Chains A and B, each alone.
Chain A
Amino acid sequence: MAVSERSAAKKPLGSDLGLSTDDLLEMYRLVALARAVDERMWILNRAGRIPFVISGQGHEGAQVGITWALEKGKDWIAPFYRSIATCLTFGMSARDIMTAQYATASDPSSGGRQMPGHYGSHEHNLVSVSSPVATQLLHAVGLALAAKIKKTGQVAMTIMGEGSSNQGDVHEGLNFAAIHKLPFIFIVENNGYAISVPLARQVAGSSVAQRAAGYGIPGVTVDGSDVLACYSAAREAVDRARAGDGPTLIEAKVTRLTGHSSDDQQTKYRSEEELAADRSLDPVPKFRAQLVDAGVLTPQAEERIDAAIKDAVHDATEYAEAQPDPHPSTAMKWVYAEEWPSEGPPPWGMGESTDATVDDASLPDTVAD
């Protein structure tokens, strides 16, 4: 019988999840691209070109696997500052990420107004990131509420670290989302550290996922270095959300391969042994080996992907380096939708800069609502 013949043969990797070879190669490209962009950011920081880096290294596998389960251009994500691979997977480009590092006028996240890492793109349904942690959970819950009321079939996801998951907004939002069975997914990328404070001092009971029980929703723990396991868990959550069965909490165990940020030296609070052990949990070589073993990532395919990533990172850096800064005369724009005569720059003490004429090319791009 055909059925038994098929089950006797070794099934192609990912086929049980409905993933094609092209899907797997694209997922690998995104994981590797996110890493390459991230590594370039650190080089630029250490070379004095950009003042600050906050990194997603160690989180990329979970981010790509989970984001892959959502529908690009339809669903919503309220990400956080380590979400580089999430943003790339949902449609932002390496240029978009790099202009944020340089805070250029053309940076689509904020036009150079926010620190690097505070990504956002209305075009790609990625909600603008702020610095107070966990606030974005409520925004995703609100998006899920709008989707439910307007019957759009959209799902809204938010992502944060396990340290952030202790904030009160998380409790308030999960409670509300669960009461109303909203199409909402809460992702915790648990890397074991909230800056310097380890999990044991942050999370009672050592698991965020088990808190889901208190809201009567599923709480799932997944190996964040296993891209396909992350995809599988997220897909199940998306199916539940779209079916009207309510929220899911997914805790992806990841590792933080860098300091908290470029201003942090993690060897001060983490031992060499621990850091070495963490490097063995790096999702990039793990996913690569999995794809090579399965015959998906052939030498030719890898060569092609590597070359494309090198080009993309080089292009993004060159592009961002060449982009102009925002002009001070634009700094009063978009406080409100419209300009108010009483809301201008201070009449005294601002020098001449705000009166300077503006070169149109240096005006920040704006994204229409």
Chain B
Amino acid sequence: MALKTFIEAIRDGLREEMTRDENVIVLGEDVGKKGGVFLATDGLWADFGDDRVIDTPLTESQIIGTSIGAAIGGLRPVAEIQFADFIHPAFNQLVSEAARLRYRSNNGYSAPMVVRAPYGGGVHGALYHSQSVEAFYTHVPGLKVVIPSTPYDAKGLLRSCIRDDDPVLFFEHKKMYRSVRGDVPDGEYTVPLGKAQVTHPGSQVTVIAYGLMAHYALEAADRVAEDGISVEVVDLRTLRPLDKETVLDSVRKTGKCLVVYEDNRFGGYGAEVAAIVAEEAFDYLDGPVTRIAGPDVPGVPYNHVLEDWFMVNPEKIADGIRKLAAY
């Protein structure tokens, strides 16, 4: 067991998978000598060389489209999109191609590949270095979407994603890269896709979150515990396929559900979770399914006062919990 930062766990996972399987390659902008702008791939180029750690031109659609073809050709590409904000030029390749390849060929073809991208705000990244883009992709059957919150999960889930036979988007909250540390076992382990985790047991309100918000939800749970409110926190880890069972089991127990996400509120991923809870746990609910999410502005503003206004934080979540508990 060793204490690792979030980004160290990701880097270790990449290196170990590349060592295990020579078909695993890494490609993206600045992933080579520089090791990525956040250093997620630092050292891989030195260890694995030009063929397996490929600096690409600034061409996101090419990064994803080439990965699809390489996957068909038997490689296991791990593509890095430098910031999730810049993934949009590859939307067509992800949605029209990677997601549909297996379905449209009736299982004749598939695109086993991972797309890693740093997402999220709170780092003075403004409109184009702060976005949460998961809702665009969780909407698409055929894509899997994973957002880990701990170093242990990041490494274990990344290994599962690389070994998975479908395209997976793996979003990493950039604020967590160096601020979050946790124990990571020395030996090989994986964390299965499609499994949420109850990270804080409780009895009165269920809070459903992922990524950085899973940490803030735990902080909020501690704050409201002082007011005598018992909160159960569910960290989704995999957004699609969603572990409905764990979500619904928790809500059926507590009778109240707050969904937290950093993205804009309207049409965000949490809206789907809220709809599922409303449809499938209605008889157990003692209050409205509610959401704490980012305000509906087109991007996170840069000025620190405005950014603080935008960002969901533990206090905003605690406030939402208190209101729901009192309902």
Q: Which of B83-120 contact A (CB under 8 A)?
A: 89, 92-93, 96-97, 100-110
Do residues B71 and A142 form an inter-chain contact, with CB atoms below 8 A?
A: yes
Q: Which of A139, A169, A333, A342 contacts B242 (CB 8 A)?
A: A342
Do residues B61 and A168 form an inter-chain contact, with CB atoms below 8 A?
A: yes
Do residues A135 and B241 form an inter-chain contact, with CB atoms below 8 A?
A: no
Does B57 sit at the interface, judged by CB under 8 A?
yes
Do residues A122 and B108 form an inter-chain contact, with CB atoms below 8 A?
A: yes
Cα–Cα, bound, A336→B238 (Å): 15
Does B69 sit at the interface, judged by CB under 8 A?
yes
Closest to A168 in B: B61
Does B194 sit at the interface, judged by CB under 8 A?
yes
Closest to A326 in B: B106
A204 neighbours in B (Cβ, 8 Å): none
Closest to B105 in A: A128
B50–chain A nearest beta-carbon distance, Å? 9
Do residues B25 and A121 form an inter-chain contact, with CB atoms below 8 A?
A: no
Total residues of chain B contacting the partner, CB 8 A: 51
Does A3 sit at the interface, judged by CB under 8 A?
no
Q: Which of B57, B70, B97 contacts A145 (CB 8 A)?
A: B70
A338–chain B nearest beta-carbon distance, Å? 8
A144 neighbours in B (Cβ, 8 Å): 69
Binary flags per residue of A81-123, CB closer than 8 Å to B gives 1, else 0: 0000000000000000000000000011111011000101110
Does B186 sit at the interface, judged by CB under 8 A?
no
Do residues B52 and A149 form an inter-chain contact, with CB atoms below 8 A?
A: yes
B176–chain A nearest beta-carbon distance, Å? 26
Do residues A141 and B66 form an inter-chain contact, with CB atoms below 8 A?
A: yes
Cα–Cα, bound, A118→B166 (Å): 21
Do residues A120 and B105 form an inter-chain contact, with CB atoms below 8 A?
A: yes
Binary flags per residue of B228-270, CB closer than 8 Å to A gives 1, else 0: 0000000000000111110000000000000000000000000
Binary flags per residue of B51-93, CB closer than 8 Å to A gives 1, else 0: 1100011010110111111111111010000000000010011
Do residues B66 and A150 form an inter-chain contact, with CB atoms below 8 A?
A: no
B72 neighbours in A (Cβ, 8 Å): 76, 127, 139, 142-143, 146
Do residues A138 and B104 form an inter-chain contact, with CB atoms below 8 A?
A: no
Does A156 sit at the interface, judged by CB under 8 A?
yes
Cα–Cα, bound, A132→B61 (Å): 13
- Stretch of A15-23, A24-32, A171-179, A261-269 that contacts chain B: A171-179
Total residues of chain A contacting the partner, CB 8 A: 57
Do residues A335 and B141 form an inter-chain contact, with CB atoms below 8 A?
A: yes
Do residues A146 and B70 form an inter-chain contact, with CB atoms below 8 A?
A: yes
Does A337 sit at the interface, judged by CB under 8 A?
yes
Q: Which of B52, B69, B110 contacts A156 (CB 8 A)?
A: B69
Cα–Cα, bound, A364→B108 (Å): 11
Does B144 sit at the interface, judged by CB under 8 A?
yes
Q: Which of A38-86 contact B (CB under 8 A)?
A: 76, 78
Does B211 sit at the interface, judged by CB under 8 A?
no
Does A140 sit at the interface, judged by CB under 8 A?
yes
A322–chain B nearest beta-carbon distance, Å? 19
Does A237 sit at the interface, judged by CB under 8 A?
no
Do residues A130 and B100 form an inter-chain contact, with CB atoms below 8 A?
A: yes
A111 neighbours in B (Cβ, 8 Å): 106
Cα–Cα, bound, A139→B101 (Å): 11
Q: Which of B71, B104, B105, B244 contacts A122 (CB 8 A)?
A: B105
Q: Which of A132, A146, A149, A334 contacts B107 (CB 8 A)?
A: A334
Cα–Cα, bound, A342→B71 (Å): 26
Does B35 sit at the interface, judged by CB under 8 A?
no
A173 neighbours in B (Cβ, 8 Å): 62, 65-66
Do residues A138 and B66 form an inter-chain contact, with CB atoms below 8 A?
A: yes
A133–chain B nearest beta-carbon distance, Å? 10
Does A359 sit at the interface, judged by CB under 8 A?
no
Does B165 sit at the interface, judged by CB under 8 A?
yes
Does B142 sit at the interface, judged by CB under 8 A?
yes
B193–chain A nearest beta-carbon distance, Å? 9
Do residues A366 and B108 form an inter-chain contact, with CB atoms below 8 A?
A: yes
Cα–Cα, bound, A340→B244 (Å): 10
Cα–Cα, bound, A337→B163 (Å): 12
Cα–Cα, bound, A78→B108 (Å): 14
Q: Which of B74, B194, B242 contacts A146 (CB 8 A)?
A: B74
Do residues B97 and A369 form an inter-chain contact, with CB atoms below 8 A?
A: no
B53–chain A nearest beta-carbon distance, Å? 11
Cα–Cα, bound, A154→B70 (Å): 13
Does A276 sit at the interface, judged by CB under 8 A?
no
Do residues A130 and B104 form an inter-chain contact, with CB atoms below 8 A?
A: yes
Do residues B70 and A132 form an inter-chain contact, with CB atoms below 8 A?
A: no
What are 29 A-B residue pairs whose CB atoms fall within 8 Å in the complex?
Answer: A107-B106, A108-B108, A113-B106, A122-B105, A128-B101, A128-B104, A130-B96, A131-B96, A132-B96, A132-B97, A135-B92, A139-B68, A140-B69, A141-B69, A142-B72, A142-B73, A146-B69, A149-B75, A169-B61, A176-B57, A176-B59, A335-B142, A336-B102, A336-B142, A337-B166, A342-B241, A366-B106, A366-B108, A367-B107
Closest CB pairs A-B (n = 7): A142-B69, A138-B65, A146-B73, A111-B106, A172-B62, A139-B69, A142-B70
